[in-house]
A and B are shown apart, each in its own frame.
Chain A
Amino acid sequence: MNTRMVEVRARVMKQNDLLARALRERFRGEGTCVIGLVSSPGSGKTAFLEKLLSELARDSRVAALVGDLATENDAARLQRATPNVRQITTGTICHLDAQMVEKALESWRLDRIDFLFIENVGNLVCPSSYDLGEELRFVLLSATEGEDKPLKYPTIFNSSDVAIITKMDLAEAAEFDLPAARRNIESVRPGMKVFEVSAKTGLGMPAVFDFLHAQLASSRQVRVAAAQ
């Protein structure tokens, strides 16, 4: 049978990307600094986020969306730091997408939120394909996971803006090779900013707080400049 070719050239992620772009514009317009967090399961995302929320809440308005396949445990844990926490349970889906984020934001006044964190499902593969409209994406890597994670999951490391090495209080016991980890991050995402922290002891956390405050100030400056 004869066939003919029809040119299409359609990006498969177009729908998600368009929605993510609209979200990004909305966040910018409302002056909300939105940070996405991705990592493998058990790397300490929630502990890190708990520290961020409780510290930033001292002088800023904070909120979080947390994605998990099941349970509301993380949201309950984070609500100790701020009441503005919503759980997104994805069921069997291994990642968040822009639509889930948009839906979860319903009725929240973004103009009353300075920092919004979106904690993705623990997974270093699938979330890399889905833009959520965040301003920056943090990828977490724990000292106990081993230094070669960036080489094994280059796509997610490359699609992130900042790397956070967590559980540094356990680095020695786990014989974590920090210089190698930094080399590997640099190899998959040249120029990537890296923080070494321990949410448990507080080590390295002030540098992250300073970075976030500076990020919020600079994105609001851009917004003011754009409005003029």
Chain B
Amino acid sequence: MHELSIAVSMIDQILEESETRGGLDVEVVHLKLGTFSGVDKDALLFSYELACEGTRLQGSRLEIETIPLVIYCDACQKNRIPPSVYQLSCPECGTPGQTIVSGREIEVASLEVAA
């Protein structure tokens, strides 16, 4: 389980962000998490709470937006959502997709802070 390492990196980053903005009271952290990121959503939620303890983020909530896997189909020349994460082909024409457009994200999108 590497979600704890990810949570720690994430918290460090948010604390740094908070610092540069003169100290934020973060209530909610909005994270974009791709289904092809290799990170498990529930394990990350659990790790986040654990890793927040004793930091300025203690008591904040993590909200995860799941980003689907999207590939580019060279034949259709369009972005497509493949049938599953283990079948990277175009759902329309069946052409294998070698280009991943999105789905690998582990990205802090925004913070909801006390006004």
Contacts and interface: CB of A to CB of B under 8 A. Distances in A.
Pick from B2, B5, B28, B109 the residue with the most CB of A within 10 Å. Answer: B2
**Interface range for A:** 35 or more
Interface in B38-53: 38-39
Interface residues of B, number: 38
A187 B88 contact: yes
Contact of B109 (A8, A15, A188): A8
Given A5-B110, A8-B108, A191-B96, A154 B115 contact: no
Nearest to A4: B115
Given A6-B111, A7-B110, A129 B2 contact: yes
Given A6-B110, A126-B2, A158 B100 contact: yes
Interface string B46-77: 00000000000000000000000000000000
Contact of A9 (B9, B24, B106, B107): B107
Given A5-B113, A10-B17, 13 more contacts: A6-B17, A7-B110, A9-B108, A12-B106, A94-B1, A95-B2, A126-B38, A129-B2, A154-B85, A158-B100, A186-B96, A187-B86, A190-B96
